[in-house]
Structure 1
Amino acid sequence: MSEVKNLLVLPRLRVQNANAISSPMTWGFPAMSAFVGLMHALERKLAEASLPVSLGRVGVICHDFEAQATEGGYIRGFHLTRNPVDKTGGTAAIVEEGRIHLDITLIFSIDTGAAESEHEVIAHQISEIVSGMRIAGGSVIPNRAVPSHKQRPQWVMLDDDEERRQTQFARLKRRWLPGFALTLRDDYLTEHLQTLQQQHPDASLLDAWLDLSRLNHVCTLENEGEPNEKPVWQAQRPYRGWLVPIPVGYGAISDLFQPGEVANARDTKTPFRFVESLYSMGEWVSPHRMKQPEDLLWYVDNDEEAGLYRLNNDYHLRASAQ
């Protein structure tokens, strides 16, 4: 039984020049931490606007994307811009920045103490606020490729009855097509590590992550031992689905320092800790394969004692059980 009671849907947002460099080792679609950061920034703006709502989880469905990079060949490069001259009048250095244009739908789990009659008004107010915010560093612009009635924000109250809830969710999923939602597949990474260790006992999680991140080809002999014997290269995919390497948060590489203890820190009132990126595997899944809202929603799942500041998604729990 799903625990999500209310969903706020902001459909078919057009984001221009979002950050395409999601971590030191991955590029493409922005990291989910960017959208969770958007959710937290939005909550602060809602508090300033005195809107009695709270946001708990966020999901993203990508309908279209356009990476600002060269096409063709084995080597690809970002489209870069020349910055204005520096204060001395000299040519400023080019800072490599990856950009991508996105057509996305944002889904938030939302709670409020407001009356049901106010939900539609609040949804439109939130939509107006989001239209003036940055999403993964990109600007929200009018989406002229989609009719205006398909861009209206929706506040969906999910029914307590399971059958009616499934009908409501099915109706939403049809509206989200065509598109794909990014989900977490920690289970594939763990399972693939066990597979590698059967052949190479010293294999690490990094080996498993790199092996899943690439497309491997294996050479076999066709008609072996016969005059017409020839080598055949075949792609080897250990799992079905559209798998991608993704960053899922940060891991501590130092002790937790008290506020102001580290020089030149951005915030002198918050404890400070040095961290590095955490990686896992993600899978792009069509919304029609989702069974409940939790399948596409991401949430913060920190373990401060272990030094883990990461995001989680529950799709793999149901998918691995099947």
Structure 2
Amino acid sequence: MATGTDKRRREVLRAIVADYIASQEPVGSKSLLERHRLNVSSATIRNDMGVLESEGYITQQHASSGRIPTEKGYRAFVDSLHDVKPMSPAEKRAIVGFLEEGVDLEDVLRRSVQLLAQFTRQAAVIQVPTLHASRVKHCEVVALTPTRLLLVLITDTGRVDQRNVDLGEAVDDDQVQRLRQLLNNSLQSKTLRDASVSLADLAQTAPPDIAPHVLSAATVLIETLVEQPSERLIMAGASNLTRFAGKSTLRLPGIIEALEEQVVVLKLMANLPELGNVAVRIGEENEDEELQSTSIVTTAYGGEGAPLGGLGVVGPTYMDYPGTISKVSAVARYVGRILAGE
């Protein structure tokens, strides 16, 4: 196949996919010529469509109807995307303004998934950061009474844990300050798993005069650090999928059921692309049978090259891929910035 012919047919395929995404109506050669500057005759377009159909990129539902893209056609379209739709300044401001109003980590994540569902008009999901990815940012020590301390553990993912520590004997201000310094020297920038090991070592090597206090604080902190909650997901916009219920290709009841089974969605988040990249799984590329009538766009969020979790959207195979990829990428980028305190 000549290079020029091959390039033109790719343009015809992109035009068919774009038109079908916009209208969900079969696309004919006449409408292609009217809507796109292809600079060829209708006979050439019909010939190109015939070749694309024989190669499995488009299909014809009825003898007299136009063509619609196949999953192979959508994959070729997505793989050919070099530029995605830029978000408007208003959309960017909406993202930043809405997310920055979040009062804590979970509120930011809940807002981000609501925003993503609203922007894409599809089902959106975000993974709550897993503990093994968290690092200790700071441990604050406050004397509530001479024999009771408040420990506040803050991680770089925004998690905040507070615990009371009852001491066997009174503690003075100087000892509180030294205890705070010892704990932070031992904990700062460590993963939660490594932090537990450091605390155990610290309890054995602490200065004798505050060793009982260190042991009491370390014991409570280790209990906090090893409390490993199960991985959680926050979802929004599943009702958006009812817009597509009239389309025979979308098996809505099974999709809703699959999304409610968190194990299925956690599997989607297990193989995320590198930070900054976006993955698109189309139709039968999805392992779960119930999701094989959908397309799923996922990415990781985090900061400084360290992913903290994943987010994405689930929608029909005829979703607006450029727009969806752009929105998923943008929301992930802003979530990462906010969690990093930028």
TMscore range, shorter length? under 0.3
Q: What TM-score results when the alignment is normalised by the length of structure 1? A: 0.21
Q: What TM-score results when the alignment is normalised by the length of structure 2? A: 0.21
Larger Rg: 2
Question: More strand per residue: 1 or 2?
Answer: 1
Question: More helix per residue: 1 or 2?
Answer: 2
Higher RCO structure (Cα 8 Å, ≥6 apart) = 1
